[in-house]
């Protein structure tokens, strides 16, 4: 594959021909549900590939989770998290702002809340996650208005930021972190770091208790080393083995319970367990785990043919649930959908993920991975990937903080710009 | 052949990336390496330059924050295919 082949030239020519209005009705139709880093990117690639694409997204504005921890800590304005869909519309993509209510997989149609019905040849779901309000006793959607999860960016992000700002010095912040799998594996620890930074710089008498339902986590050595160096007086971490699993909450008394203790909080951030976004279960592509098993080459559902699932909702083996992963999967999935619709066998993919976390302003760390399809699953390519070095000069931490911000600018411009 | 392809892609603008059919791994690069990014754009970069950079990252000869870890996931042949692809893409 070192030179462009005749077939690829022909494919490019065919895509051009398809863009002529006279042939518009001959274009295959793909509906993409979910306009985040996965879905919006898939819609762009499919459109460029000569597919008649409709992107269905209930919200007129996307609010990005990456960098929302920085908003909570007052390091980034909320406005920097919001993106409209005008860029996709300008690119010629049909964007429908309505909720997808049901999917007829046999008849290949999506029904929308506004009564419209969209036919498809193939369907791509990128629904992200839903928070499970049945998982922690006492923690329902009402409790989240008092003890924000802030795990879907938006009003929840602003609520947690306001609560932190208003908390008196000497107060206690309690964070609950779920067991795997969940959206953004290092995210809770970045959040803990940045909350600790707020306490250290603005409320030196306050403390943060992190209650974790597991014992090991992403970039753990890097986080723990930074916590020891930067936040020894602010941050107390309680892993599962020391009773970190939260067994219940009471918003009225601001109490967070574990099997061993009760914690009184001035601010409580409860990140509950999650599942694939609701439309996945409606479509029948989620299994009993709540997540969606997929083919690692095409991202087609293992449960319902003709439906592809990408991003946080998918069971993507070794790939973490991240915006970077969702975006990388979108490119692979869109390519495979174009191939399948053209009757070509999709190529064997390799995917990349890189996740940056800030532990303080100007102090970034990263984890990277390269993945390939190994039989039934996406597996790590041995010998590749890993985290930033444990012993590194401040200049590297600063560089990675800059790269994190740069990645965010670049990816959001590509997806929404 | 390559000249003909470039003419076609230039006409397509950003569509080039999709029609060219990226080799394994190449689709993820643009997430960081777009025009104006501090990490450096790779679209249109000479093939030999990208291939040499990937080889040097892989051996560790060229230091980097993340690319040393990513480049190890690709063989010489795969890296060359990625370099060839991005040399032809026009942003």
The answer to whether A61 and A83 have CB atoms below 8 angstroms apart is yes
With an 8 Å Cβ cutoff, are B69 and A386 in contact?
Answer: yes
Give the residue from chain B lying closest to A395, CA to CA.
B65
- Chain A partners within 8 Å of B36 (Cβ): 410
Q: Is residue B15 over pLDDT 60? A: no
- Asked if the A6-58+98-130+275-347 domain carries CATH number 3.50.50.60, the reply is yes
Of residues A8, A327, A372, nearest to B21 (C-beta): A8
| Min Cα separation B41/chain A (Å) | 10
Q: Which two tokens stand for residue A253?
A: 């008394």
A403 to B23: CB separation less than 8 angstroms, yes or no: no
Domains and CATH numbers, chain B: 2-88 (1.10.760.10)
CA-wise closest residue to A72 among A171, A224, A196, A204: A196
Nearest to A368 among B17, B20, B69 (CB): B69
**CB spacing of B18 vs A399 below 8 angstroms:** no
Write down the pLDDT at residue A151: 98
Q: Cβ distance A229 to A222 under 8 Å?
A: no
* A381 contacts: CB under 8 Å, gap ≥ 6: A350, A369, A370, A371, A372, B72, B73
Cβ of B27 within 8 Å of Cβ of A347? The answer is: no
pLDDT in tens, A390-411: 999 999 999 999 999 999 999 9
Report the C-alpha gap between A318 and A219 in whole angstroms.
15
Secondary structure of residue A165 in the 3-state scheme? helix
- Looking at CA atoms only, how far is residue A46 from chain B in angstroms? 8
| Nearest C-alpha in B relative to A349 | B24
- Going by C-beta distance under 8 Å and a sequence separation of 6 or more, which residues neighbour residue A228? none
From chain B, the residues in CB contact with A386 under 8 A are: 69
pLDDT of residue A25: 52
Task: Say whether A331 and B21 touch across the interface (CB within 8 A).
Answer: no
Alpha carbon of B11: minimum distance to chain A alpha carbons (Å): 10
The residues, ordered by sequence, that sit 6+ positions from A254 with a Cβ below 8 Å of its Cβ are A146, A147, A264, A265, A266, A268
The count of other CB atoms within 10 Å of the CB of residue B69 is: 23
Q: How far is A397 from chain B (nearest CA, A)?
A: 9
Q: Which residue of A has its CA nearest to B51?
A: A2
Which of B1, B21, B71 would you mutate first to test chain A, the one with the most A CBs within 10 A? B21
B17, A384: Cβ pair inside 8 Å? no
Q: Is there a contact between B31 and A327 if contact means CB atoms under 8 Å apart?
A: yes
Pick the closest to residue A296 from A205, A377, A185, A380 (CA basis): A377
Residue B18 pLDDT > 80: no
Positions of CATH 3.50.50.60 in chain A: 6-58+98-130+275-347, 132-274
Minimal CA separation from B18 to chain A, in Å: 6
Cis peptide before A181 (omega within 30 of 0): yes
What value, to the nearest 5°, has the Cα angle with vertex A184 and ends A170 and A403?
A: 90
- Contact list in B for residue A324 (CB cut-off 8 A) is 28, 31
Distances (CA, A) of B3 to A179, A190, B7, B10, B20: 53, 48, 6, 11, 14
Cross-chain Cβ contact B32/A407 below 8 Å: yes
Cα A277 to Cα A128, A130, B42: the distances in Å are 5, 5, 35
Q: How many CB pairs under 8 A join A and B?
A: 148
| φ, ψ for residue A253, nearest 5 deg | -100, 5
DSSP A368-395: EEEEEEETTEEEEPTT--EEPPSS--HH
d(CA A92, CA A88): 7
Chain A residues closer than 8 Å to B20 by CB: 4, 8, 12
Task: Decide if A368 and B70 are in contact by the 8 Å CB cutoff.
Answer: yes
Q: How far is A9 from chain B (nearest CA, A)?
A: 7
Q: Judge whether B53 and B76 are in contact, CB under 8 Å.
A: no
The arrangement of secondary structure in A132-274, i.e. its CATH architecture, is 3-Layer(bba) Sandwich (3.50)
How confident is chain A (417 residues) per 10-residue block, as mean pLDDT? Answer: 41 44 70 98 97 98 98 98 98 98 98 97 98 98 98 98 97 98 98 98 98 98 98 98 98 97 98 98 98 98 98 97 97 97 94 97 98 93 97 96 96 95
CA distance B50 to chain A (A): 14
The residue in chain B having the minimum alpha-carbon distance to the alpha carbon of residue A385 is B69
pLDDT of B65 strictly over 60:
yes
Of A3, A349, A353, which has the smallest distance from its Cβ to B24's Cβ?
A349
Q: How confident is the model at residue B21 (pLDDT cuts 50, 70, 90)?
A: confident
* Helix residue spans in A212-290 (DSSP H): 220-230, 278-283
Report chain B residues whose CB lies below 8 A from the CB of A413: 34
Shortest CA gap B16–chain A (Å): 8
Cβ B27–A407 below 8 Å, yes or no?
no
Whole-number pLDDT of residue B30: 87
pLDDT digits (tens, 9 = 90+) for A329-341: 999 999 999 999 9
Query: Encoding tokens for residue A308?
Result: 């592809």
Alpha helix stretches (DSSP H) within A291-368: 323-341
Are residues A4 and B25, on separate chains, in Cβ contact within 8 Å? Answer: no
Among chain A residues, CA nearest to B41: A410
What DSSP line would sit under B33-58, residue for residue? --TT-TT---TT--HHHHHHHHHHHH
pLDDT tens-digit series, residues A151-205: 999 999 999 999 999 999 999 999 999 999 999 999 999 999 999 999 999 999 9
pLDDT at B44 over 60: yes
């Amino acid at each position: 594959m070192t030179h462009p082949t005749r077939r690829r030239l022909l494919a490019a020519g065919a895509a051009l021909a398809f863009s002529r209005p006279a042939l518009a009705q001959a274009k295959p139709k793909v509906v993409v549900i979910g306009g985040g880093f996965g879905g919006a990117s898939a819609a762009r690639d499919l459109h460029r590939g000569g597919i008649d694409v409709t992107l269905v997204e209930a919200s007129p504005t996307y609010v990005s989770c990456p960098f929302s921890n920085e908003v909570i800590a007052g390091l980034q304005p909320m406005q920097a998290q919001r993106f409209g869909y005008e860029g996709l519309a300008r690119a010629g993509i049909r964007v429908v702002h309505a909720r997808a209510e049901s999917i007829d997989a046999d008849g290949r149609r999506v029904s929308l809340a506004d009564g419209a019905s969209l036919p498809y040849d193939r369907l791509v779901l990128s629904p992200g996650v839903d928070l499970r309000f049945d998982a922690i006793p006492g923690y329902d959607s009402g409790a989240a208005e008092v003890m924000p999860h802030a795990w879907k960016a938006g009003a929840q992000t602003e609520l947690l930021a306001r609560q932190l700002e208003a908390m008196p010095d000497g107060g206690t912040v309690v964070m609950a972190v779920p067991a795997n799998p969940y959206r953004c594996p290092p995210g809770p620890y970045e959040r803990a770091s940045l909350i600790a930074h707020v306490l250290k710089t603005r409320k030196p008498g306050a403390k943060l208790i992190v209650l974790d339902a597991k014992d090991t986590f992403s970039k753990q050595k890097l986080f723990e080393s930074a916590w020891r160096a930067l936040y020894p007086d602010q941050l107390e971490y309680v892993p599962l083995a020391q009773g970190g699993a939260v067994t219940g909450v009471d918003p009225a008394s601001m109490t967070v319970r574990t099997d061993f203790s009760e914690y009184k909080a001035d601010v409580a951030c409860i990140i509950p367990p999650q599942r694939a976004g609701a439309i996945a279960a409606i479509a029948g592509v989620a299994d009993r785990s709540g997540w969606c098993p997929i083919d690692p080459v095409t991202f087609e559902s293992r449960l319902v043919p003709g439906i592809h699932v990408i991003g946080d909702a998918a069971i993507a083996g070794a790939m973490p649930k991240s915006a970077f992963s969702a975006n990388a999967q979108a490119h692979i999935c869109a390519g495979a959908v174009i191939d399948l619709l053209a009757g070509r066998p999709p190529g064997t993919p390799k995917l990349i993920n890189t996740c940056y976390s800030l532990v303080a302003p100007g102090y970034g760390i990263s984890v990277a991975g390269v993945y390939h399809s190994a039989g039934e699953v996406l597996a790590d390519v041995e010998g590749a990937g890993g985290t930033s070095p444990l012993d590194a000069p401040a200049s590297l931490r600063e560089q990675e903080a800059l790269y994190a911000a740069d990645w965010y600018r670049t990816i959001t411009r590509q997806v929404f710009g | 052949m390559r000249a003909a392809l470039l003419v076609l892609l230039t006409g397509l603008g950003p569509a080039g990336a999709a029609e060219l059919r990226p080799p394994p791994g190449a689709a993820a690069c643009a997430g960081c390496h777009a025009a104006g990014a501090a990490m450096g754009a790779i679209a249109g970069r000479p093939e030999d330059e990208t291939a040499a950079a990937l080889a040097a990252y892989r051996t560790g000869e060229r230091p980097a924050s993340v690319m040393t870890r990513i480049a190890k996931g690709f063989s010489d042949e795969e890296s060359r295919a990625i370099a060839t692809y991005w040399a032809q893409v026009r942003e």
